[in-house]
Amino acid sequence: MPQRQAGLLYSQFYSSVKEIWQHIGGGLSHDPVALTRAYLYIKRRCHTALQGSSQKIFGLREEHRVSWDLFRAIHTVMRGQYLYRTRIPRTPVAEAPFYSLPTPTLLSWLYWSINKFCIGFKMVYSLNNRHFVTWEHTRVILMFLRCLQFLYTGGLLQRVSGCWRDIWFQPDPRQPDGLRRREGLGFQQSMERYGYTWLLDKLDWGTMTFRYPFALYMMFDNPSLQAAYRARYAQVRDVRQDFLRIIQIHRWMEEFSAVLCCLELLEDLLQQLCLCIFRKDVFTHVQHLLRPEHVARALAGEVPLYWSSVEPILIESVQPPVLLQGNRVAVKSIDTLYAWLWEWKDGQYDRHGWKDKPYRMVYRQGYEIIQQIRD
């Protein structure tokens, strides 16, 4: 680069207000208990850091690193013009190209803004039960946490398309017109119009999810989740669609809660969706025993769990299906089987991997939805 060849090796501009947060942070964990403790600990640290900064002065700093030859050349010029003896005149406040705010004003604004996004995050989290968070709520949580990050670490919003931009298009050969539509929070637009980063009207504040049709294009996804499940993307996408259907049914039930026939129809739809997901989970578990030509239908939940329906789709080596019997079999009655598959308040069965199957999550969520609407 010409600047480096001339002797300018490094330059940076940053706000010294970042010193408030320089000792706040920690390692990465996926344990819910550890994450909860870390979240509460960081909140206390932030409160202490803000309180301890009330008597400090912050500003914009510049750092420039130059070669020795360039430094000597600058020094020679300054000595020749006697600039090192000249005081830099103060800039009138009305003409200053920067904001000058009292430290208490800045810190109170940080308090308010941090609490705003923390409340948004906790509000969305509280709408879900303690066992899982729906995908659409996860995206809104990611949005609040992404905004919260800029209050702690600074940074340029312009570099984060999901926050800064409103609507744009990216090349995508998989789309009919070769373009994929993307949408963000549009902070650039609200800054130009209002001087503050207000959220555009893309959130449904009743359900705390992105509104239709914006939800289809919003940039807030979870890269770590996508990377972890890339090998099983088809199944993950299918489960996501089922959870979106649950959310939509919940909205309809709230809208038509006063119309009994509509409410009963939607409850039946909720039950049928749950049973369909159960069939998907069952056939996914025994996929290696299915005939190849029947795998797609079975994994889509289209094959009923009847003897006459299951037997033809199994490979020959496991035909006909056999019911386990004997003294050592844990499940000896249909009541026990039902409790093992569907109950969640007993606390006496070790369900192994079936405990967190999608059908059980949807079943519990559906139960709570019906209970909420009926009450």
Query: Taking the domains of the chain in order of start, what are their residue ranges?
Result: 33-52+102-221, 225-374
Q: Which residues pair with 61 in a beta bridge?
A: 14
Return the sign of the alpha-carbon dihedral for residues 17, 22, 23, 29: positive
pLDDT for res 81: 82
CB atoms within 10 A of CB 181: 14
Q: How far apart are CA 263 and CA 159, in angstroms?
A: 46
pLDDT for res 26: 52
Contact 122, 194 (CB under 8 A): no
**Global pTM?**
0.59
Pair of tokens at residue 39? 């979240």
| Residue carrying the six token digits 């600039």 | 83
pLDDT one digit per residue (tens) for the chain, 375 residues? 788 888 888 888 777 666 666 555 555 555 667 777 877 888 888 888 888 888 888 777 788 899 999 999 988 888 888 776 777 777 676 677 777 888 889 889 888 988 999 999 888 888 876 656 777 788 898 899 888 888 876 677 888 888 999 999 989 888 888 898 999 999 999 999 998 889 999 998 888 888 888 888 888 875 554 544 444 445 555 666 777 788 788 888 888 888 899 999 999 999 999 999 999 988 988 888 898 998 889 888 888 988 888 888 888 887 877 777 777 777 777 887 888 888 876 566 777 777 778 888 888 888 888 888 887
Give the side-chain half-sphere CA count within 13 A for 318.
14
Reduce the DSSP state of residue 218 to 3 states and report it. strand
Q: How far apart are CA 144 and CA 259, in angstroms?
A: 36
| Residue carrying the six token digits 């006909």 | 320
Q: How far apart are CA 99 and CA 90, in angstroms?
A: 14
DSSP of 58-122 = --EEEEEEE-HHHHHHHHHHHHHHTGGGSPPPPPPGGG-SS----HHHHHHHHHHHHHHHHHHHH
pLDDT for res 27: 52
Going along the chain, which residue ranges are E strands? Answer: 8-15, 60-66, 167-171, 179-183, 203-204, 209-210
pLDDT for res 33: 72
Contact 99, 105 (CB under 8 A): no
pLDDT for res 22: 59
pLDDT for res 230: 44
Q: How far apart are CA 121 and CA 279, in angstroms?
A: 34
pLDDT for res 24: 52
Return the sign of the alpha-carbon dihedral for residues 302, 305, 306, 310: positive
